[in-house]
């Protein structure tokens, strides 16, 4: 175990539904520390880089359209084992499978509108934090 920093996005559905406070609160109450926060509208170019691993999949176009459809809240979240810990708080990717008590299990019903993104590995966290916090301060 180690102190890690991970990238979280509150996706456009979470921002437009007014869920930022609820979602940030869950990370803070767990004991993670906010190291960076930015509200921004993602460009198509940034969306395509962020989701590069999904390029070519049937849902890629829909994914890029959705993530660029309105502002997101990008967060750099730090703490012990934060990469896997944040993913555990988020719940399974498809809200149909997300356990109650998780963010997606409590706040989402649709796979395409599942309110949060979290980096899935150390390499992803490093790459994604550099995309959203390019000044390197987090
Ligand atoms: P993750 O967000 O839990 O890491 P990924 O597999 O990386 O899940 O997928 C990225 C996002 O793409 C998901 O959060 C979800 O919103 C969307 N997505 C994943 N699979 C599908 C699909 O089969 N159809 C439509 N959207 C999908
Ligand atoms: Mg992913």
Give the per-residue pLDDT at 1: 78
Which residue is it, tokens 């869950």? 26
Task: Give the residues surrounding ligand 1 with Cβ less than 6 Å away.
Answer: 59, 62-63, 93, 111-112, 114, 117, 120
Ligand nearest to the CA of 117: 1
Atom number of ligand 1 nearest to Cα 87: 3
Is residue 77's pLDDT more than 80? yes
Is residue 16's pLDDT more than 80? yes
Query: In the numeric block, which tokens belong to residue 71?
Result: 């502002």
pTM given for the model: 0.97
Distance 137 CA to ligand 2 centre (A): 23
Residues 9, 66: contact at Cβ < 8 Å?
A: no
CA-nearest residue for atom 12, ligand 1, is 63
Is residue 36's pLDDT more than 90? yes
Is residue 138's pLDDT more than 80? no
Q: In what order do the strands lie in the sheet with 33-40?
A: 33-40, 72-80, 3-10, 116-118
Ligand nearest to the CA of 12: 1
SS3 content of the chain, % helix, strand, coil (to 5): 45, 25, 35
Atom number of ligand 1 nearest to Cα 120: 4
Residues that are catalytic: 117
């Amino acid at each position: 175990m180690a102190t890690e920093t991970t990238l979280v996005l509150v996706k456009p559905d979470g921002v437009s539904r007014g869920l930022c406070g609820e979602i940030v609160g869950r990370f803070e109450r767990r004991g993670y520390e906010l190291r960076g926060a930015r509200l921004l509208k993602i460009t198509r170019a940034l969306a395509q880089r962020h989701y590069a691993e999904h390029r070519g999949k049937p849902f890629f176009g829909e994914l890029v359209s959705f993530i660029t459809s309105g502002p997101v809240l990008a967060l750099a979240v730090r703490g012990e084992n934060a990469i896997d810990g944040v993913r555990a708080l988020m719940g399974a990717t498809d809200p149909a499978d997300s356990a109650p008590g998780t963010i997606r299990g409590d706040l989402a019903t649709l796979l395409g509108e599942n309110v949060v993104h979290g980096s899935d590995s150390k390499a992803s966290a490093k790459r994604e934090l550099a995309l959203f916090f390019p000044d390197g301060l987090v």
